[in-house]
Structure 1
Amino acid sequence: MSAKVRDMTVGTPGKLILLFALPLMLGNVCQQLYTMVDTMVVGQVVGVHALAALGAVEWIMWLVLGISQGITQGFSILIAQYYGAKNREGLKKAAAHSYMLTALIAVIVLVVSQAGANWLLEFLNTPEDVIGMSLGYVRIVFCGIPVIAAYNMCASTLRAIGNSRTPLIAMIIAAGINVALDLLFVAGFSWGVGGAALATVIAQTFSAVYCFLVLRKIDEVQVKKGDFGPEEGLNGRLLKLGAPIVFQNVIIAVGGLVVQYVVNGYGFLFVAGFTATNKLYGILEMASISYGYAVVTYVGQNLGANKPARIRKGVKASAGIAFVTSAVISLIMLALGRNILSLFVSGDPQQTEQVLDIAYHYLFMMSCFLWVLYFLYVYRSALQGLGDTLIPMISGIVEFIMRVGVSLLLPKLIGQNGIFYAEIMAWSGAATLLSTSYFWRMRKLEKKEIS
């Protein structure tokens, strides 16, 4: 077996999951670092209007890039299951067909996103004083969709076979390149938000190339020309796993766009404050995403190996680790959050103070309920690893209903701060459905094994 992969069907579950998640977590730190540097450099060098311009496209970016992330995550479930079952022929064919489907979908998403970017910004009531900068930013980032899709597919394949180290190194490389180019393009060349977008695309290109080069050297997934040939039912199985996750991401993003529409109506200062906290959102959830990837791989491999008792033990350990991690992050944010937020804002002292008040209020509320988000990721990932992408998709609909309902109704009752409850209620509704469904699914799986 290659040293670059990890068999998660043997060994202590909690230890395996934590060791697998740690490199992913460090990789997410690097990814969030260069996302935050984008915002810090733009906010400090260009000003509050530019910060609001980035915030106005937050959910649009999530919508478009979430398609790539969702489809590749779905494909990796089958790859993990084949790996756990020691089915090398099926593994290579699944990987090859995943690459083909990802390339096709990336081209479609690129064309549609570029065509609809301007219309969507106008539809979302984006403030006139920032819409031009927002459009320039997304057009450049969307040019990198094929690169992002390539990275997501390569990284998902690596994670599915137990390699979380390579995506970490890729993110470290990307973070270093992005930080350097941000300072050069935005602070040095004065290219504004466009420079920040270009820096991001170039950095992502390097991370995609690195993952691809490593993947080519791993025997278990070295695909040949014959692996790309027709295989009855394979593309359908892959799409059946990937499409619900894409739909889940899209419906969540649409709910976020409704929130963005409401936020945009409160003016650019509120948008700027909302944006500052949303840039920390990545820091808040970075460990949960890592645990989620670890759980998908762990559950997928153990399902392939037909070890349901081991699955339950691993998911229980993951929930405990996730709760402790969320509590630590929450305490740090409650204590230091306002100081961190101040790094994103500069300009008129009175405006800066208003933006920070808005941002910290939002951050405080999310920090108090962060544990809910972490449970959401653990149980959603466990279901996906079991091959159930339908319930996670329905959970996305629940998030949409809660997020949209709260954002449209609560501000009318308690004022604009009511918008801050939308995210928390979305987490709560989805987490309740996912955890209940997971325990029901496990009882069903264990009864099937006994019979």
Structure 2
Amino acid sequence: MNRDLTKGSVLKSMLLFSIPMILGDLLQQCYNIVDTLIVGQFLGKNALASVGSSFTLMTFITSIILGLCMGSGALFSIRYGQKDEKGLREDVCASFFFIALITFILTVISYIFLNQLSVFLHVPHEVWGDMKGYLIIIFIGIPAIFLYNYFASYLRAIGNSMIPLIFLAISAILNIILDLFFVIVLKLGVEGAAIATVISQYLSGIGISIYSLIKNIQVRAIMKLQYFHLKRVHKVISFSVLTCIQQSVMNLGILMVQGLVNSFGTVVMAAFAAAVKIDAFAYMPVQDFGNAFSTFIAQNYGAKEKMRIQSGLKSAVCLSMGFCIIISTIVCIFAKDLMTIFIDAKETEIIMEGVKYLKIEGAFYCGIGCLFLLYGLYRALGKPGMSVVLTIFSLGTRVVLAYVLSAIPAIGVTGIWWSVPIGWALADLIGLIYYRCKKKELLSFNI
């Protein structure tokens, strides 16, 4: 199932590799979306607001682990393209223990500062009880998130995007079944939704770990200390930490916006909770395509295939922009119908606020599509620091504008929604200018 992306048709290689990744990440989104849907329909708007705010927080926590895994995955892809078997094993061993340590620290910190979150996120008193109960359980799943994303990143780095999809499909189906059972049958409330998610996460995390150890000799290096070298840890850090910073800065900005949203009350919180799920689900395919594109570029960068890199870049831009135009049209036309999936039709105030959000964000998905390609490109070319720069510009603009515009009475919460596409556009402009100016240096194959 491993795919060598340095050979064959460029367009076909990217498509065949990216489709399982897209389907897999859409299934991963189902973990929290199913929670949101069931909670919103059966437990009411306060419970929906609590799960929605929890989703934003967990996205931030997950982004730290995901960033480390993605950065390591880019390094794995380069080693795979170079046919450097020994280097790949040593990088796998070093990255596994490094990210496992970070995961442990992250889990401990999450519990220590749990009670402070209500203040940081401006969570209303009537929502905090459900949110705290949900988070106490959901934090148990953080190690499972590490296991799945680490081994999925490795498998995708060597061209195997199908196995991560299979494990996610199984766990997503289990999550839906357990959600319905714990929330509706056993009436365990938001805690039941959290239990269902954690069980499903461990199924996919442990399952893909066992598969990877059995099927991939290189992965077994994590059980052999002779493959652990500090110089490799340094290399892993140089790739993964900057990607981690990029991912966490991006989601920290979103978390800060969540706190601002919460200050507008339960109605806006509930609208944002539902709309942001639709938003994330809509552009998730282009985000995953950006990650697949990054693996394609990294393998060819390791193999020093300059022409395939340039050809892949052109094909990726055309595919990504075409998809964004289609999905933007769908979201803008069916915004109200999409909101009623999560919200009872009688909650007209919540639905209308959510529709306003979706029509503003949805019209500019080409902006985020271009940004995901730029993130993937710079990560694959060994320049993850540039991804951090783009994220700072994108999220910095978003956060500043959100607070400034929303403080103007005539604009209010709508200012938060408009700050997002403006941030995307600024980051895109900077990323494209940098590529045009540094193209020769970027393709010098100095790794």
Give the TM-score taking structure 1 as reference length: 0.94
| Residues 350-369 of structure 1 mapped to structure 2, 5 A cutoff | 352-369=347-364
Q: 2:351 is matched by which residue type in structure 1?
A: L
Structure 1 position 287, deviation (Å): 0.8
Describe how 1:234-273 pairs up with structure 2 within 5 A.
Answer: 234-273=232-271
Identity %: 31
The structural deviation recorded for 1:76 is 1.0
Residue 304 of structure 2 aligns to a residue whose secondary structure is coil
Aligned equivalents of 2:439 and 2:311: distance in 1? 11
Tell me how far apart the structure 1 counterparts of residues 60 and 27 of structure 2 sit (CA, whole Å): 22
2:275 to 264, 274, 277: 277
In structure 2, how many angstroms separate the alpha carbons of the residues matched to 1:269 and 1:310? 50
How far apart are residue 220 of structure 1 and its match?
A: 5.3
Instruction: Give 1:35 shift.
Output: 2.4
**Contact kept? 1:263, 1:271, Cα under 8 Å:** yes
Q: For residue 370 of structure 2, what is the aligned residue in structure 1?
A: 375
The match for 1:287 among 265, 269, 285 is 285
Q: Does 2:420 correspond to 1:419?
A: no
Report the equivalent of 2:169: 172
Maintained 8 Å contact 1:376/1:435: no
**Alignment partners' CA distance in 2, 1:120 and 1:264:** 12
Name the amino acid aligned to 1:196: A
CA–CA distance in 1 between the matches of 2:403 and 2:216?
Answer: 52
Following the alignment from structure 1 to structure 2, what is the Cα–Cα distance between the partners of residues 416 and 282?
A: 19
How much does 1:270 deviate?
0.8
Cα distance, 1:321 vs structure 2: 0.4
Residues 440 and 205 of structure 1: is their aligned pair in 2 closer, same or farther, counting only changes over 3 Å?
Answer: farther
**For the residues of structure 2 that align with 1:175 and 1:93, how far apart are their CA atoms?**
33
Tell whether the 8 Å contact from 1:178 to 1:203 is kept in structure 2 after alignment. Answer: yes
Tell me by how many angstroms 1:32 deviates. Answer: 2.5
Aligned residue for 2:123, secondary structure, equals coil
Question: CA offsets, 1:307-344, max 9 Å, x none?
Answer: 12211110111111001111121122122221121021
State yes or no: 1:398 paired with 2:379.
Answer: no
Contact conserved, 1:241 with 1:387, CA < 8 A, in 2? yes
Alpha-carbon distance between aligned partners in 2 of 1:254 and 1:214, rounded to the nearest angstrom: 33
CA distance in 1, matches of 2:226, 2:281: 39
SS at match of 1:223: helix
For 2:138 and 2:439, the matched residues in 1 are separated by 41
Query: 1:238 Cα deviation (Å)?
Result: 0.2
* In 1: Cα distance, 2:262 partner to 2:3 partner: 46
1:307 equivalent among 284, 305, 308: 305
CA contact (8 A) 1:49 1:268 kept: yes
Counterpart of 1:208 in structure 2: which amino acid? Answer: G
State yes or no: 1:70 paired with 2:54. Answer: no
Q: Answer yes or no: is the 8 Å Cα contact 2:242–2:385 preserved in 1.
A: yes
1:321 corresponds in structure 2 to 319
Shift of 1:155: 0.3
Please give the per-residue CA displacement for 1:164-206, whole angstroms capped at 9, x wherever unaligned. 0011111111110100000001111111111111111111111
Q: 1:385 aligns with which of 380, 384, 391?
A: 380
- Cα deviation, 1:387-444, whole Å, max 9, x if unaligned, reads 1110101112112311111111112232221111122122222222223333434322
Q: In the alignment, what sits opposite 1:297?
A: 295
Number of positions where the alignment pairs a residue of Structure 1 with one of Structure 2: 442
**Contact 1:88 1:220 (C-alpha < 8 Å) held by counterparts:** no
Matches within 5 A, 1:192-231: 192-219=189-216, 221-224=218-221, 225-226=223-224, 229-231=227-229
Once structures 1 and 2 are overlaid, which stretch shifts more, 219-228 or 257-266? 219-228
Structure 1 residue runs without a partner (length 5+)? none
Q: Which runs of 4+ in 1 moved over 3 A?
A: 217-220, 224-230, 438-441
